[in-house]
Amino acid sequence: MRTGYLHGLDWLRVVASAAVVYAHTRDWFTYGHQTWWVNGVLDTAVLDPLRVGSLMAPLAVTTFFLISGLVVTYAAQKESPGRFLARRMVRLVPALWVVLLAVWLVTRLGLDAGARGEHAGDVSTLLTNMALLNFATGSPGLDLVTWTLVVQVPFYFLVAATIPAMRRWPWLPPALMLTLLSVLMSVVRNEDAPGAHTLRVVVTLLPIMVLGQVIALTRLGKLPVPAGIAYGALAWLLVVRGDLTSDFTPAVPGYPQMVVCIALLTIICSRLTGGVVGARWVKALADRTYAVFLLHVPVLYLTPHLLSTTAGTTLAFAVAMLGTAVTADLLYRFVEKPTVRWYRGWENRGQKSAERARDDLAGRVEAAR
Amino acid sequence: MIALLRAGAALLVVYSYLVGLWLHQHGADPQPLAGIREWLNRPLRAGEDFGPFALMVLLLCTGWTTAAARATGRDLLRTALPVLVAAPLAAAALAAGLDVWTYSPGAGLVPLAWVIGLQLVAALVGLDRRGWPVPAAVLCWIVLLVAFDVDGLGKPALFLTMVLVGHVARRVADGVLPGWAGLTLGVGCFAAVALLDRTVDGLHQWWYPVAATYAVLVFLAAVAVPAPDWPVTTWLADRAEWLLVLSGVVGFAVLGLLHLRVPLSAAILCAVAATGLAADAGHRLTRRLTRRTA
């Protein structure tokens, strides 16, 4: 069983992180009716030939979903359901809450950090955002990229619930999940209410995480390659079905095309070792991708506003990137890492050193988001 | 895995350039073809019933194998023979009033003969033992092609990049080329594809960069994986080039003869079987000739 650290996925996460930051920066300039020379170059050289002009942000998010599905399946091989869920939550929640609190405070000060809605500064808004309930109730969002967690968290619960089955019958969890999602896709058709739309988003995008799980199980030798291909095809066809049966989700032309490309790229990258992909700086950047993901939109809204767009788009972009890099590093060093350390220490209380669970941040298997 | 990739490509070639193309030319869109187009081709944005994708996979495999071993005269004969046989066969079929795929303007008697031509070029590329000078020279040639507006060679030049990618991948896998050099050449190949797609008349509509992306990703994901040698994959892989050139000759002729006399599905099955039999005969001929020249 190959459970070694997947260096290539670190590299892929860094690239995906850069793509999502670029996409939101481009959107920010576009909405402000500004042109940025980088857009033209990238569109002509890469995006137009591949016919994926509008797909940069979905491309990055889909990459995160796939990698997440893959690496949590690796982690699930060693953890009990309770420990699995607790570890995921410890990785996700503290950083999320700190960022939401910061955005909420900045919004209350009257600055634009990307929060939308009339009552964005209310305490109830902060609380609903912290529980991710704003996507169900339609209340204002403080950091809109957090919608991806609404897809990931149910997947973690599904994985936790199927861990015992996965150990005995590895073919069963993906089969159960795909069946459940197929049924839900038939049921959730009306997307008028915010909650229904969110549920449809979850049901349409969860097959991508299942695809990641299938890649992991195949890599681990728990699924034969033909079965892995068959499951992968079924998961992808669910994405196609979701696309064909909804006008709003995923609402991105060419989305199924992109999912296939990213799945193949993930398979290729999961085999890469050494060289640049194994470099320490890649690992360091990969460790901060969650922080970058949470922070780049608020920082993007704040910094160019403070700087004023008269300074030019390139300078505004450079300042936004610097701001994102600094705040993401602070979030990682002073929130993410200490929380995980503290939790692992609490987990290992009273145990001899040989029995202690290894720290995720230094462990061989990445307990990713 | 190369045999499995070649076998899959051969199957897709028959599906695309015999079944899909013939039905398209005769205005038919029966199930399950329509379903496959709705559920696979459109979501994947893979046009022409996966035909270009299959050709690209075949060329990637050719680049990989020719980089592994220096091509001999026998290899060149083995590569060229399908066209040497298919061209007079197509001429004879046309003279006899049979249905043969020559409809595309300027495509000649064997419209896919250029793929065999590229495989011969691959043998030359494979002579480059260092791995980078010939691919780099070919990329420069493609830039010149674009600069001098030579549209006629645009499509073969675009597909030639697949040979280069296969060649470079093998050189990197063998440790002859460092990874960064391979990546640089790969990016160069993608740039050439994008350039040709944008500048050569008539290419833009076919979305070849999308097919090329799929082909390269599938190839790289699969090539390092060990796969069992099933008789069916070996059979298809060995006869891939024959299936490629004979689909438009034997397959079209049989389908043209039978489609008015028997149900369409039966006619298609007969045409595929006839193409397979003809490809098998061609393969036996190749073996006999190459054994004699040995």
pLDDT tens digits along A25-83: 877 777 666 777 777 777 777 777 777 666 778 888 899 999 999 999 999 998 999 99
Tell me whether A221 touches chain B (CB under 8 Å): no
Least-confidence region, from A10-14, A138-142, A171-175, A240-244: A138-142
Asked whether residue A202 carries a pLDDT value surpassing 80, the answer given is yes
> Which residues in chain A have their CB less than 8 angstroms from residue B43's CB?
240, 243-244, 256-257
Mean predicted confidence (pLDDT) in B251-265 = 88
pLDDT averaged over chain B? 86
Distance, CA of B100 to chain centre: 19
Distance CA A203, CA A206 (A): 6
pLDDT, residue B115, reads 92
pLDDT, residue A368, reads 41
Q: Are B193 and B35 in contact (CB under 8 A)?
A: no
Q: Flag if A240 and B209 touch (Cβ within 8 Å).
A: no
A101 burial type by CB count under 10 A (0-12 exposed, 13-18 middle, 19+ buried): middle
To the nearest whole percent, how much of chain A has pLDDT over 70? 89
Asked whether residue A361 carries a pLDDT value surpassing 60, the answer given is no
| Domain ranges (residues) in chain B | 2-293
Asked whether residue A218 carries a pLDDT value surpassing 90, the answer given is yes
Q: Flag if A45 and B191 touch (Cβ within 8 Å).
A: yes
Long-range contacts made by residues A198-201, C-beta under 8 angstroms, separation at least 24?
A198/A135, A198/A136, A198/A147, A198/A150, A200/A242, A200/A246, A200/A248, A200/A249, A201/A147, A201/A150, A201/A151, A201/A249, A201/A250
To the nearest whole percent, how much of chain B has pLDDT over 90? 34
Mean predicted confidence (pLDDT) in A91-99 = 95
pTM above 0.80, yes or no: yes
- pLDDT class of A99 with cuts at 50, 70, 90: very high
Q: Which amino acid is at B71?
A: A
pLDDT, residue B178, reads 86
Q: Are A79 and A123 in contact (CB under 8 A)?
A: no
pLDDT, residue A304, reads 64
Mean predicted confidence (pLDDT) in B7-23 = 92
To the nearest whole percent, how much of chain B has pLDDT over 70? 96
Q: Which amino acid is at A265?
A: L
pLDDT averaged over chain A? 84
pLDDT, residue A364, reads 38
Asked whether residue B21 carries a pLDDT value surpassing 80, the answer given is yes
Mean predicted confidence (pLDDT) in B194-209 = 82
Better pLDDT: A106 or A252: A106
Tell me whether B156 touches chain A (CB under 8 Å): no
The phi, psi pair for B152, rounded to 5°, reads: -60, -30
Residue A221 makes CB contacts below 8 A (sequence gap 6+) with A1, A2
- pLDDT class of A369 with cuts at 50, 70, 90: very low
Cβ contacts below 8 Å, chain A against chain B, sum to: 52
Least-confidence region, from B38-47, B127-136, B163-172, B244-253: B127-136
Provide DSSP, A59-118: HHHHHHHHHHHHHHHHHHTTS-HHHHHHHHHHHHHHHHHHHHHHHHHHHHTT--SS-BST
**What sign results for the dihedral spanned by CA atoms A242, A245, A251, A253?**
positive
Asked whether residue A1 carries a pLDDT value surpassing 60, the answer given is no
- pLDDT class of A246 with cuts at 50, 70, 90: confident
> Which residues in chain B have their CB less than 8 angstroms from residue A15's CB?
none
Tell me whether B204 touches chain A (CB under 8 Å): no
Q: What is the dihedral of CA A193, A195, A201, A202, to 10 degrees?
A: -160
Tens digit of pLDDT for each residue in B58-101? 999 999 998 888 778 888 888 889 999 998 998 888 888 888 88
Better pLDDT: A67 or A362: A67
pLDDT, residue B206, reads 81
In angstroms, the separation between the Cα of residue A53 and the nearest Cα of chain B is 13
Closest residue in chain B to residue A51, using alpha carbons only = B210
pLDDT, residue B155, reads 84
Name the residue facing A50 among B191, B213, B221 (closest C-beta): B213
Q: Flag if B217 and A261 touch (Cβ within 8 Å).
A: yes
In angstroms, the separation between the Cα of residue A231 and the nearest Cα of chain B is 16
- Residue B142 has which token pair? 């493609």
Name the residue facing A240 among B39, B191, B214 (closest C-beta): B39
Asked whether residue B104 carries a pLDDT value surpassing 70, the answer given is no
CA distances from A102 to A240, A295, A333, A334 (A): 38, 10, 16, 14
Mean predicted confidence (pLDDT) in A144-172 = 93
Mean predicted confidence (pLDDT) in B131-150 = 80
Asked whether residue A308 carries a pLDDT value surpassing 60, the answer given is no
Residue A5 gets the label, from left (phi > 0), alpha (psi -120 to 50) or beta, of beta
Asked whether residue B289 carries a pLDDT value surpassing 80, the answer given is yes
Better pLDDT: A317 or B275: B275
Mean predicted confidence (pLDDT) in B224-238 = 83
> Which residues in chain A have their CB less than 8 angstroms from residue B224's CB?
271
Q: Are B81 and B40 in contact (CB under 8 A)?
A: no
pLDDT, residue A13, reads 92
